[in-house]
Amino acid sequence: MKTAEIAQRYLDYFEKNGHTIVPSASLVTDDPALLFTVAGMVPFIPYLSGDVPAPYPRAADVQKCIRTLDIEEVGHTPRHGTFFQMLGNWSFGDYFKEGAIRFAWELLTTPDADGGLGFDPKDLWVTVYEEDDEAHDLWLTLTDLPEERIQRLGKDTNYWSTGLPGPAGPCSEIFFDRGPAYGIDGGPATDDDRYVEIWNLVFMQYEITNVQSKYDFDIVGELPHKNIDTGMGLERVAFIKQGVDNMYETDQVRPVLDKAVELSGRTYGADHQDDIRFRVVADHVRSSLMLLSDGVTPSNDGRGYILRRLMRRAIRSMRLLGVEGATFKELFAASRDAMKDAYPIVETDYPRMEQYALAEEATFLRTLASGSNLLDETIVQTKGAGGSSVSGSEAFLLHDTYGFPIDLTLEIAEEAGLTVDRAAFDALMHEQRTRAKTDAKARKRQLADTSVYRDLRALGETSFTGYTDLETASTVLGILVDGVSTDRAATGQIAEVILAETALYAESGGQVADKGVIVGPGYELDVLDVQRPVPGLISHTVEVTTGEVGVGQPATTVVDAVNRRAAQQAHSATHLIHAALRDTLGSSATQTGSLNRAGYMRFDFAWGQALSDDTKSEIEEIANNAVRDNLEVTTRVLALDEAKALGAQALFGEKYGDVVRMVDIGGPWSRELCGGTHVATSAEIGLINLVGEQSVGASNRRVEALVGLDAFRSLAAERALVSQLTSTLKTPKEQLPARIAELTASLKAAEKKIAAFEAKALGDRAPGLAEAARAVGPYRLVAANVGTASSGDDLRTLALQVRDRLGADAAVVALGAQVGNRPVVIVATNEAARSAGAKAGALAKRAAGVLGGGGGGRDDVAQGGGTDASALPAALDAVASDLGAA
């Protein structure tokens, strides 16, 4: 049974049983405490917690999920995948335990021919929370499960909570027994891979508080509306129904594994370590493809870092399989073909996704090459010092700073006859992960709890009137101070104010929040920010500047009209720039992000190279021609499918409801889904001045522009500057570039002559410095502060000249100087000195430590530097002291 068929049978069954079928939410979640949708319940959290009224009493879905917490388990077990799909059925105050158990058992055990999943009841086991007698008894009465195949387990496995105050409850899990060939007898309680959990039924019935951990809390009482939250792992069911040993061999994943086998020339099933690597490649390529399809792009932080890590682990695994060249073109195409039936976007949007994947692969292959060079240097230094092990700190530096995988460090070191201090490396990794987890927990505690808005959202959605009105009369529904609900706020306090209606725009879609005030009888509030903390609710962060505001009082929102107009100009200009980019570069130049505020806009788009000056001028001209043509700006509210059919552009990663707002500028030329505010005609934008273009990641560019009056002021300032230059240089403005180039060339020539003179003057000091050599132990030492030097190279040349004048005796030269704003020390040794034990690298490092910096290098010549120029004499003394001690 194919994976897609399993999913469709699931949806068909629950639709037949009165459930609303809900499409999968994006992998990118709105929850500020989460990077991704990590479980099927994440999109339903506002309904399950009661923060937002559920739009339906029961629902079912197939939800895309990404979870990397167990990333090291991928490939080792039959069921761990970073991308997976959860089949879920949900009840919001409708049916409870009996209904959930009845539905699950019926779907699982109904024969294939009758539309079910065809599991044999004798292969199924169930666990319940040890104190949940009700669930235990329902399994006995509603099914033909014998008592011995219903096991009671503790909180650590069979009790669900978020780890925060709020809803919680016992759960019941359904397991499939793979048979004695896969492990020991004894049921799920054995925690053996023989028993695969396929479905978890969460009975959300309690309110908890005083949460110390996920399993240490106090139960306040029962929820007024009990909910059902279930999740069945689609990949787990698929590998069982398809008769394969693990999820990596199912129809949606195996094609990537087979392509990796083909590219590597190795055999799957012949070597345990190779098999793990094949499975890692198959999993991570699919996960990367799905993240790209939801608008995530590789970067060094946040979601982009997770995507980058997955891609690089796949590249690393292919390298360990003996493939050092590029493979993503073939691997991603194989994953696309396996997933396109379930998710058509991976085919329709594939050119954009492939562009990011290939660029990231090329970048990391270069990183591997440079990392290999750094590791080679480390190996040479380690061996030269008589060591047998690469230090843990060096391995961690390669991993953390250069992205060089520890597996490759181990492999290359072993080939060189060295080990790696893995314990020290693991300790540093543990420290890093501990810091990250601490930060994540703090962030979760700070941002995740939206229950304070629950009662306010229950009063209804906040009505936004700002598309047509700049002032709106309303009523104060709620006030929060320091996150706590209160009935009033007085002068000087910062508070959140919730109104029934507002004309103030809440930040979204790249457009920043409106500025303005809220006024009422005897009070005035300065609006600092406007946000949507939960869907459908608008919150105003305000400072009470006059009087006291209370719940139930009248309130009028007043938008700063000048700021709003300038923000609208910038937002509409963003749409024009997007259309101009697509006209110039083609449809693959898709939007990846934007920001618009009064007078300024920036626009991020998928593109792999810098734009030429001619291209930037063309984009700017197309956008300003649209301004000149005074195009009509129209908005329509319509069904999402209808808007997409009309060609409306949507922002990748943005979430849209069934009904959307479509903004046209000049008809279909610029047609986008957008909730922002806009000008009425394009001429109101005034002027667009493209002022910047830069890279913001692999295959991602950013353009910036000033808009309206800000654009005019910028151009006026440039005109004044040009006027000043023409006057000062006595050159017509059209000849300024040539004149400035001529002056620049003259300046460079003068600087070159000065540098040559300074280098000669420095070199002339070599005889005198050599004559000042003194005996230190078995060495002749020259240690001198020569004042200043144009460059470190000049100082190095002088040190070598002095060394050469000291003849064949054991000689060490240590010269210090201030180069620019930092102190530098160069140490040079001759062959006799090195034979006697003097190493330039170690001496330079010692001097650099005194200067407050670092250094090192080869045994014959090395450099160190720091930040404290006054310590140069002490640094040179340290070199002499080390030589004397030796």
Question: Which residue ranges are tagged as binding site for Zn(2+)?
Answer: 571, 575, 674, 678
Q: How many other C-beta atoms can be found within 10 angstroms of the C-beta atom of residue 727?
A: 9
Residues 381, 370: Cα–Cα separation, whole Å: 17
SS3 state of residue 190: helix
- Beta strand residue intervals within 130-213, DSSP E: 150-153, 159-161, 166-177, 195-213
> Distance between CA 276 and CA 71 in Å, rounded?
12
**Nearest partner of 829 among 764, 748, 763, 883, judged by Cα:** 883
Sequence-separated (6 or more) residues with CB below 8 Å from residue 565: 679
Long-range contacts of 869-875 (CB under 8 A, 24+ apart): 869/818, 869/822, 869/823, 871/823, 872/785, 872/816, 872/817, 872/818, 872/823, 872/825, 873/785, 873/816, 874/850, 875/816, 875/823, 875/825, 875/847, 875/848, 875/850, 875/851
Task: Name the phi and psi angles at 46, rounded to 5.
Answer: -60, -30
- Contact assessment for residue 55 and residue 174, using Cβ atoms and an 8 Å cutoff: no
Is the separation of the CB atoms in 470 and 556 below 8 Å? no
Is 790 strand, coil or helix?
A: coil
- Of 285, 287, 282, 290, the closest CA to residue 343 belongs to 290
Specify burial of residue 647 (Cβ count, 10 A radius: 0-12, 13-18, 19+): exposed
Q: Mark the binding-site residues, compressed into ranges.
A: 571, 575, 674, 678
Give the separation between CA 411 and CA 698, rounded to whole angstroms: 28
With helix as H, strand as E and coil as C, how does 263-318 read?
HHCCCCCCCHHHHHHHHHHHHHHHHHHHHHHCCCCCCCCHHHHHHHHHHHHHHHHH
What angle (nearest 5°) sits at the alpha carbon of residue 57, between those of residues 54 and 117?
A: 120
CB 619 within 8 A of CB 690: yes
CA distance 818 to 824: 6
